[in-house]
Amino acid sequence: MQGKNKKIAVFCGSAKPINRQFEDSMKKFAQKAVEDNYAIVYGGASVGLMGTLADETLKNKGEIIGVFPKFFSSNEIAHNNLSEMIYVENMAERKQIMADISDYFVVFPGGFGTFDEMFEILTMTQLDFHQKPLILFNDNGFYENLYLQLKKMHQEGFIRDFHFSAFAVANNVDEIFELIKTHKTENDAQWLGWAKEK
């Protein structure tokens, strides 16, 4: 079975989006992930797109693991019905655990925290801590401007070719799963040497 025992970490907003298209896409993604036998790893919240992801995964009898900072518990936003909840002390530990236990990363629309998580993974790929694929989901054109900025950084020499290939862009949910199966990252593990040459 495709995806059996593989985990997809999903980075997304904890706020309720104005554009309901993002919620519809998240539901379709969760349904497809369960159908293809992937487990989901996410930030553990019950609100916003994060809550939509968790609820839809559970509704379809899928496995979903939350990684949730303890200092948020008093806000009562932690999801109470997950397959597993891992409580951590801080945001850095949250990102590290999500990176360690996941096989793939998918970035849905979100805010500061979503960007922080995405760039952490890309930086870890650049430094050769792992070579796990990251898929940027350009839902309804949400990440077009970010992609142009990343492309500009590449053109100006701040991102090398094989680091620019550390992520792929999907424009619909079906493309996400195609890229999960086919996208490969490339790295010569020589970033520091290359940086010195510059």
pLDDT of res. 167: 92
- Any domain includes 179: yes
Number of domains making up the chain? 1
Q: What is the pLDDT of residues 20-71, one digit of tens each?
A: 999 999 999 999 999 999 999 999 999 999 999 999 999 999 999 999 998 8
pLDDT tens track for 179-190: 999 977 665 555
> What per-residue confidence (pLDDT) applies to 186?
64
Query: In the 3-class helix/strand/coil scheme, how is 81-111 assigned residue by residue?
Result: CCCEEEEECCHHHHHHHHHHHCCEEEECCCC
144 inside domain: yes
The verdict on residue 164 lying in a domain is: yes
Three-state DSSP at 53 gives: helix
Side chain identity at residue 109, one-letter code: P
Please report whether residue 56 resides in a domain: yes
How many CB atoms within 10 Å of residue 55?
17
- What is the domain-level CATH number for residue 58? 3.40.50.450
Distance of CA 57 to the CA centre of its chain: 16
Residue 151: how many CA atoms within 13 Å on its side-chain side?
Answer: 8
- Read off the pLDDT of residues 72-114 as tens digits, 9 standing for 90 and up: 755 668 999 999 999 999 999 999 999 999 999 999 999 999 9
pLDDT the model gives residue 188: 52
Residue 162 lies in a domain: yes
What are the backbone dihedrals phi and psi of residue 171, each rounded to the nearest 5 degrees, phi first? -110, -5
Question: Residue 73 corresponds to which tokens in the numbers above?
Answer: 């518990």
Q: For residue 114, tell me if it sits in a domain.
A: yes
- Quick check: is 68 in a domain? yes
Instruction: Read off the pTM.
Output: 0.91
* pLDDT at 159 (0 to 100): 86
The neighbouring-strand residues paired with 39 are: 7
Residue 1 located in a structural domain: no
Domain around 176: 6-197
- Residue 68: name the closest of 48, 109, 97, 40 by CA: 97
